[in-house]
Structure 1
Amino acid sequence: MSTSDQSRGTASSADMPAPGPSAKKHRVLPPLEKGDFDRAGKLGINFSVAGEALWANRLRSLLTTLGIFIGVSAVVSMVSLIQGISANWTDTISSLGSNMIIIAPGTGNNVANSGISSSGGVSVSSRVTSTLPAAETTLSLTPGDATAVAKTPDVTAMSPIISVHGQVISGNRNWNTRIAGVDTSLEHIQNWTIAQGAWFTTNDEQGARSVVVLGQTVYQQLFSASGEDPIGKTIRIGNQLFRVVGVLATKGGATTTDDVVFVPFSLALERLKNNGYVDQIIVRVNDASNIDAVQQAITALLEQRHHIARGSADDFNLTSSKQLLDTFNQILSLATALYITVASISLTVGGVGIMNIMIVSVTERTREIGIRMSLGAQRQDIRNQFLIEAVTLSLVGGVIGMLFGLLLGFVLTYRLEVPFVITPTSLLMPFVVSAGVGVIFGLYPAVRAARLDPIEALRSL
């Protein structure tokens, strides 16, 4: 090559204008050549492009997430509610002990007839148990039955219970509560703790003395505001005067567990409900392994005392604390299955909505796909972009649904007066479920976009 040729070549190169700002300005998306970007760089571009596409159609994107929002919010709120009710019930049963048997009059639903919502100290919030069948009003258990049951082998303690509702008055303060006539052994049967004073004595029971032990709720309503010591004070129940000998510590569990006043059983039998019957009998067994045997023995005993023929329906029912817990867990399982079904339908509808919108988006953006592929984008880049869009739509709906579900769960548990329980599972589950729905229902549109022929796509220009 001659010197003049080299000079012309050099001059020619020098004469070429350098790319100015205007050239860079119109360069929207550089070609993706092999080796230019690593995997993380490509993924970042896919996220960026997906975000721009969703923002450009933000109203449609927001409406698409509605089904996911409803499904996730339903799941989260119901999980919070069921966990709160379960914790409430479990705490109540645990506080009673695992070796307790409740004998109640009447036949039918054991949970309803066990006195679990009406007797002193063994109660669950009426709002929670209001869906259970109402207890029968059959009068069949007598104080004599209670005395006979106490002699059953492996029974370590027994207390008959008479329960009435009434107004308790102290000075200018009053409170409507449950007044339960019980034996002195109930303190140990139900694991009550004395906060002030003492439980009434055997002499109080035998002498039918007018003494009372206040539950923590009743104490708070009558004496806490004034700050005075309730021990030795006189309160009025109906037209009768009673002396306060003790105050119970908070037992927790159900909201009405501490809303009770205990009086000696003999006094209640004579002056509060003088009909010769008891509302229930609570028995404590020496060991939980003997529960079934003791139940069989008590059943045979009461059938004999009540002259019930073999094969005839009993006029009483027995329920152990374990049976109460098992029965309630079955109810919770049915409720859980129901809400999972409803939530699954909602999530499926939401997922189908996402898939439909993504298919429409693929059709609308055929030109964009063709340009990207002609500039060097690989099929997996196109697939990942649309998959990211689908998962992002689902996650947005899931996060908003989780926040709304937690708020709704808090309101429901507050209204039902049960604990508001949040577990790591309830916080993690919406993200997992939402991402799963996005992947499942976004995969087909993403694969469909990746399989487009770039030549055919460019023909749409």
Structure 2
Amino acid sequence: MNVGEGLTLAFAGLSANRLRSTLTMLGILIGVAAVILLVAFGNGTSVAVQKQVESLGSNVIYVFPSSSRTSGVAQGFGTAQTLSQDDVTALNDHSQAPDIVTAIPLTTAAGTMTYQNQNWSAPASGSTQDWAQVRNYDLSAGAFFSAGDVRSSARVVVLGQTVVDNLFGGDSSAAVDKSIKIQRQSFRVVGVLAAKGSGGLGNQDNVAVVPISTAWNYLTGGRGKNINQIIIQASSSDATSAAQSEATQILLNRHRISDPTQADFQMQSQQDLLNSFGQITGLLTVLLGSIAAISLVVGGIGIMNIMLVTVTERTREIGIRKAVGARRRDVLVQFLIESMFLSGLGGLLGILLGAGLAVLVASFAVSSGSSQIPPPVVSTPSVVLAFGVSVAIGLFFGIYPANRAASINPIDALRYE
């Protein structure tokens, strides 16, 4: 018996019991669809995180006081006083750090913001006029504050889009030149940052940026010239490692630390973040796929059960085939092909269902503008793997029924009622 004959017989046998065959395929179909969909969600989350990290600049390095490094990477929360303005000045010395374009300080204060009868809470970040350039932000309205504003401690502020949404109904142009209160201090809005969106790194639009001197004088509660974080911009993404090494050596020398393991600061680049989140989302994708694969095993058990019933029902047919010259191998191959055909067809339908649902969810996420649902991304390897596993399950769980059918004695089979 060749494969073509086996497929023809398999199709004829399964067509004779359409309802039973459909119900049997359902387990494989659901399992493959679940694998495709859940892996697509994992891939979509990974892509969303990667895009967000890259949107913040692939050549950015964060420097934290060693005792205050927290999950608030983008906002720079911290309380230890191991970083200073002199450190920032040293890092901006291009003779010592040729791969560093600029380094900016960052201090952060709680920001309860009020405009007329609207209130909103967002971190108020104090920095220099280079903040938008280093953090890779554009402006949707107005302008960023200037070096003169930093020198004069001007009470001006640049708002993120989330703050504008909650204080000004989302109208960026209407926010410019308006006066808002931050911690009961009046600030004039001079610009609005273009939206970045939210994702694995949190909402990057829920921010307000003021001159660092203004933050020291009006928002940090008299804590002095506190610096929670230094943000370094390397000359390119390829120069990030070199810039990080230069910055490390400068700070070690300034802090008079000879042993790098005893450094009172820590560094993290955007690439480090990307690698960390990549590992997390990769594990998440594998976990989701593994959970979904359990239903494939359940579907395989259903195939074995149905094939055993089929062998019993077709005992006389097997006896007749053997009596007219069919070999043991012919019977074995026939039932294996039927089992694999059943699981393979279920796998193909599952791929169509899973991919279709992924496209549907992605379309909904894009059309609704929802940032809470990363659009699923169906990958070719997951489709090929899911189909291959479904066929392999048909082969594995079909071996026992096929072997049982091939082992039937033709004389006993002809006597079977």
User: TM-score if structure 1 supplies the norm length?
Assistant: 0.73
d(CA) in 1 for partners of 2:336, 2:18: 10
d(CA) in 2 for partners of 1:218, 1:290: 34
d(CA) in 2 for partners of 1:225, 1:291: 36
The DSSP-based 3-state class of the residue aligned with 2:145 is coil
Equivalent of 2:87 in 134, 145, 169: 145
Q: Indicate if the aligned counterparts of 1:235 and 1:243 stay in contact, CA closer than 8 A.
A: yes
Alignment of 1:233-252 (within 5 A): 233-252=178-197
d(CA) in 2 for partners of 1:79, 1:148: 47
- Residues 200-230 of structure 1: CA deviation (Å, up to 9, x unaligned): 1111111111111111222222223678622
Alignment of 1:17-32 (within 5 A): none
d(CA) in 2 for partners of 1:337, 1:431: 17
* 1:185, distance to aligned residue in structure 2 (A): 0.8
d(CA) in 1 for partners of 2:371, 2:40: 12
* 1:149, distance to aligned residue in structure 2 (A): 2.0
Match of 1:127 in 2: none
Q: Indicate if the aligned counterparts of 2:318 and 2:413 stay in contact, CA closer than 8 A.
A: yes
d(CA) in 1 for partners of 2:295, 2:283: 19
The DSSP-based 3-state class of the residue aligned with 1:288 is coil
The DSSP-based 3-state class of the residue aligned with 1:236 is strand
* 1:243, distance to aligned residue in structure 2 (A): 0.9
- Inter-CA distance 323–57: structure 2 relative to 1 (3 Å threshold): closer
* 1:172, distance to aligned residue in structure 2 (A): 2.4
Alignment of 1:277-426 (within 5 A): 277-310=226-259, 313-342=262-291, 347-348=296-297, 350-370=299-319, 380=330, 383-384=333-334, 387-393=337-343, 395-396=345-346, 399=349, 403=353, 417-423=372-378, 425=380
The DSSP-based 3-state class of the residue aligned with 2:107 is strand
Q: Does 1:116 align with 2:73?
A: yes
- Inter-CA distance 56–188: structure 2 relative to 1 (3 Å threshold): closer
Equivalent of 1:457 in 409, 413, 417: 413
Q: Indicate if the aligned counterparts of 2:7 and 2:341 stay in contact, CA closer than 8 A.
A: no
- Inter-CA distance 188–403: structure 2 relative to 1 (3 Å threshold): same
The DSSP-based 3-state class of the residue aligned with 2:111 is strand
d(CA) in 1 for partners of 2:59, 2:254: 24
Q: Indicate if the aligned counterparts of 1:351 and 1:438 stay in contact, CA closer than 8 A.
A: yes
Farther off after superposition, 218-227 or 282-291: 218-227
* 1:251, distance to aligned residue in structure 2 (A): 2.3
* 1:318, distance to aligned residue in structure 2 (A): 0.8
Equivalent of 1:46 in 4, 10, 14: 10
Farther off after superposition, 423-432 or 77-86: 423-432
d(CA) in 2 for partners of 1:429, 1:198: 51
The DSSP-based 3-state class of the residue aligned with 2:17 is helix
Match of 2:51 in 1: 91
% same residue: 35
- Inter-CA distance 352–141: structure 2 relative to 1 (3 Å threshold): same
- Inter-CA distance 284–114: structure 2 relative to 1 (3 Å threshold): farther
Gaps of 5+ in 2: none
d(CA) in 1 for partners of 2:84, 2:132: 21
Q: Does 1:436 align with 2:400?
A: no
The amino acid that maps onto 1:266 is S
Equivalent of 1:100 in 60, 66, 90: 60
* 1:241, distance to aligned residue in structure 2 (A): 1.1
The amino acid that maps onto 1:92 is Q
Alignment of 1:53-202 (within 5 A): 53=17, 55-56=19-20, 61=24, 66=27, 68=28, 71-72=31-32, 75-106=35-66, 113=70, 115-119=72-76, 138-151=80-93, 152-154=96-98, 155-202=100-147
* 1:320, distance to aligned residue in structure 2 (A): 1.5
- Inter-CA distance 376–52: structure 2 relative to 1 (3 Å threshold): farther
The amino acid that maps onto 1:168 is M
The DSSP-based 3-state class of the residue aligned with 2:122 is strand
* 1:389, distance to aligned residue in structure 2 (A): 4.4
The DSSP-based 3-state class of the residue aligned with 2:175 is coil
- Residues 237-274 of structure 1: CA deviation (Å, up to 9, x unaligned): 12011111111222245350122111111111221114
Question: How much is the aligned-residue C-alpha RMSD, in angstroms?
Answer: 3.8
Farther off after superposition, 314-323 or 328-337: 328-337
Match of 1:260 in 2: 207
- Inter-CA distance 450–107: structure 2 relative to 1 (3 Å threshold): farther
| Length, aligned pairs only | 402
Gaps of 5+ in 1: 1-33, 120-134
Q: Indicate if the aligned counterparts of 1:179 and 1:263 stay in contact, CA closer than 8 A.
A: yes
- Inter-CA distance 312–250: structure 2 relative to 1 (3 Å threshold): closer
d(CA) in 1 for partners of 2:172, 2:243: 46
* 1:374, distance to aligned residue in structure 2 (A): 6.4
Match of 1:231 in 2: 176
Q: Does 1:206 align with 2:151?
A: yes
User: TM-score if structure 2 supplies the norm length?
Assistant: 0.80
Farther off after superposition, 279-288 or 389-398: 389-398
- Residues 253-309 of structure 1: CA deviation (Å, up to 9, x unaligned): 535012211111111122111423212111111233433333223223323333435
